[in-house]
Structure 1
């Protein structure tokens, strides 16, 4: 089959594509690039509104501006069949991931919030937030998939016909469905769904697990109560208690589960709070890791603890970027709790192939984190090593191992310098 002049072949029979259609593994006949071909088979998705929504995602190049999000890239309509081609995200679905310890789950939640904040900044709601619509690699890289149920703040874009999956629906969506009234996903309803997902990731369970919600009506009642259901349960032995989340995150969950849609925290609120939580992780001598709270006791064993980070922990770094063809460098200073975003407008000598947001740097705990955001990728060449594709890199502070490295952002090469302040 042809897409935009390129030929792809289906390499695997269809598999579950959710409620909107069939999904096929495909690959570029020349390059072997893995892809996904999805056929939309619901009447509401194949009518004029469905076609307009699909065209919006393609024409606005959502994929180019939101790396690690896999939206429709090329539509295809032939013999009454409407479908689209998208990238095949690496990894497995979140609900099929290997068991991860609390520090990994906290970092996964932060990465999810970063992706979410980028969607929200574009005026987009995912519309179908659930673990099955995110993939994660063994290294912890997270991808957003199945975005064709999106909702846009643009009034000229038709509303989605689906509102998400039952365990993650916002109270206003549940009310409308129970009353058989039409309703569409919004930024506010998406905020509720993302909150439920973050709760699942952080605590490794759905907020209603262990509660008496055997019927849909009882489930809805708990999820519509305006209170975070985790407040009603006691964790079983071996489960993560909510006190392991520190002070800020439980308060955000309380606010997010408020039945008033406008009162829910934004994606950026969650991104910042989760970033602070990563900074405040401590490990008790009993072996458990948790976010430091007001009480200086371990949530598991109840004994007192000492923070891992000392008063001398690295709190500020200066990054220098120099185009290889020029002698002068551009400096960027950022502090703990901040996320430095580098892109086309501030990277010296950047070409048009460099994304507007291409590379993110953050101080987390005792490490410096670098994350590629660019659609055209980033390569890094550290002294004594060859070039490696950079997805997400973690190095001990103050980052001396990366001082002098060469970054290739899309097609733009820059020398990297790092100094502590």
Structure 2
């Protein structure tokens, strides 16, 4: 079983491979390649084929056994490619579903040629879309970790995302590195620039902590358009400095005490990262370089990424998205559009008939004339179906807020202080009157006698993002 046998001829003719059940698969177009293998479009665009490289017969047999095991795993509804069928010798690999209209996340990492950075960033979805795509990716990885597995090689070429800008789906491919988290596999492949230092050096195998490191690198680079370890010292230095940077032997570009590798490239960090995201990055790239357990988990990243996305506004002039705490749009300088600030609270009970609240640091912005979905993640802290919209909010030109209930249970609009109280049945909507400085409203996601979450609305007050 040789994985390095050529699959095309000198005439450039299309090549047919066969599965273990003797099904012929015609490879029509190579859509990706890396150190571990190649991905080809096949089956008239309905399938993809991953062709793997192996060092020798023994390694090939080990990979084939691993793929058979992977096919048996229960991955639920995680957006992760499953091997449909294994290839028969002399080829090593598998077929998987080919999703339409998806591209590698790598396409959102840097503009090509002389394309201006800021217009390109906006035209490819802007800040809000990047935050949400990363949140979905972190959610998929967290789902794997919750099953006692790790992905093994998170990288921008292994994460596929929706090509249309109005869709925000993600799909993880190249699952041949998925492993049991306690398993030490020194032969595991990891993409250069994203591999955790302990994996790169061969000290430890892949794990949920190495996944978290690779994800942190991806997240920082996608948002800021600069690799966290490729500072000016590396960019202007000898080629071997890049190897040292990827191995964690140089400080990252925003190191709190070591400024020797700052970067003049990329977007201003405070424009595209909330303080919460900057804190996670510092944990990952300072103490987390040498000590894997010091790194934030992908679940922590998921929470902060979604929270950051909830705090964005869309500029009516340039259409770029940015954090609503800024005095002007950072992309074009135009004043922010009108918006409501909705603080997330938890009603923990009643005392003398009056509600008692526990405050949180979470919030979302409701922009005028833009539908703002409230997800199950916000309403009930649901882990599954995080972005399922349970309520839609519409803030109109007359300062009225319309709440549409898309959930499977009632919600309630309550005036601050306990009244008036309006129930919104499933499939119905209600409009609350004009906002002013002396009144406000709350949206309750549960009945008064049960603990539940609450959104308290007020006019937007500029404050630091969290």
TM-score, shorter chain, exceeding 0.5: yes
Question: In the alignment, is residue 54 of structure 1 matched against residue 67 of structure 2?
Answer: yes
- Which residue does 2:340 correspond to in 1? 310
Aligned equivalents of 2:407 and 2:161: distance in 1?
A: 29
How far is 1:76 from its partner? 2.9
Aligned equivalents of 1:196 and 1:264: distance in 2?
A: 12
Aligned equivalents of 2:392 and 2:270: distance in 1?
A: 21
Whether the 8 Å contact between 1:66 and 1:118 is mirrored in structure 2 is: no
- Which residue does 2:168 correspond to in 1? 140
Aligned equivalents of 2:206 and 2:344: distance in 1?
A: 42
- Which residue does 2:240 correspond to in 1? 217
Pick one of 86, 107, 111 that aligns with 1:75.
Answer: 86
Pick one of 4, 20, 26 that aligns with 1:10.
Answer: 26
Aligned pair in 2 of structure 1 residues 89, 160: CA closer, same or farther (>3 Å)? farther
Aligned equivalents of 1:249 and 1:397: distance in 2?
A: 32
Whether the 8 Å contact between 2:151 and 2:177 is mirrored in structure 1 is: yes
- In the superposition, the TM-score normalised over structure 2's length comes to 0.60
SS for the counterpart of 1:207 is: coil
Aligned equivalents of 1:235 and 1:25: distance in 2?
A: 39
How far is 1:2 from its partner? 5.9
Question: In the alignment, is residue 336 of structure 1 matched against residue 378 of structure 2?
Answer: yes
SS for the counterpart of 1:205 is: coil
Aligned equivalents of 2:185 and 2:428: distance in 1?
A: 47
**Structure 1: tracts of 5 or more residues without a match:** 317-332, 342-356, 368-395, 405-414
Question: In the alignment, is residue 274 of structure 1 matched against residue 305 of structure 2?
Answer: yes
The range that moved more, 109-118 or 68-77, is 68-77
Aligned equivalents of 2:192 and 2:389: distance in 1?
A: 35
Aligned equivalents of 2:178 and 2:385: distance in 1?
A: 24
Pick one of 193, 203, 210 that aligns with 1:167.
Answer: 193
How far is 1:299 from its partner? 8.6
- Which residue does 1:119 correspond to in 2? 144
- Which residue does 1:197 correspond to in 2? 218
Question: In the alignment, is residue 206 of structure 1 matched against residue 230 of structure 2?
Answer: no
- Which residue does 1:250 correspond to in 2? 278
How far is 1:57 from its partner? 0.6
Aligned pair in 2 of structure 1 residues 314, 273: CA closer, same or farther (>3 Å)? closer
Aligned equivalents of 2:402 and 2:223: distance in 1?
A: 26
Aligned pair in 2 of structure 1 residues 211, 314: CA closer, same or farther (>3 Å)? same
- Residue deviations 1:343-387, cap 9 Å, x none? xxxxxxxxxxxxxx56852579958xxxxxxxxxxxxxxxxxxxx
Aligned equivalents of 1:263 and 1:21: distance in 2?
A: 32
Pick one of 384, 388, 403 that aligns with 1:361.
Answer: 388
RMSD over aligned CA atoms reads 4.0
Whether the 8 Å contact between 1:9 and 1:26 is mirrored in structure 2 is: yes
How far is 1:68 from its partner? 2.0
- Which residue does 1:92 correspond to in 2? 103
Larger radius of gyration: 2
**Structure 2: tracts of 5 or more residues without a match:** 1-16, 109-122, 347-374, 395-400, 409-424, 430-442, 445-466
How far is 1:193 from its partner? 0.6
SS for the counterpart of 1:398 is: strand
- In the superposition, the TM-score normalised over structure 1's length comes to 0.66
How far is 1:61 from its partner? 4.1
SS for the counterpart of 1:77 is: coil
SS for the counterpart of 2:382 is: strand
Question: In the alignment, is residue 103 of structure 1 matched against residue 108 of structure 2?
Answer: no
Question: In the alignment, is residue 43 of structure 1 matched against residue 55 of structure 2?
Answer: yes
Aligned equivalents of 1:218 and 1:308: distance in 2?
A: 48
Aligned equivalents of 1:74 and 1:112: distance in 2?
A: 25
How far is 1:252 from its partner? 0.5
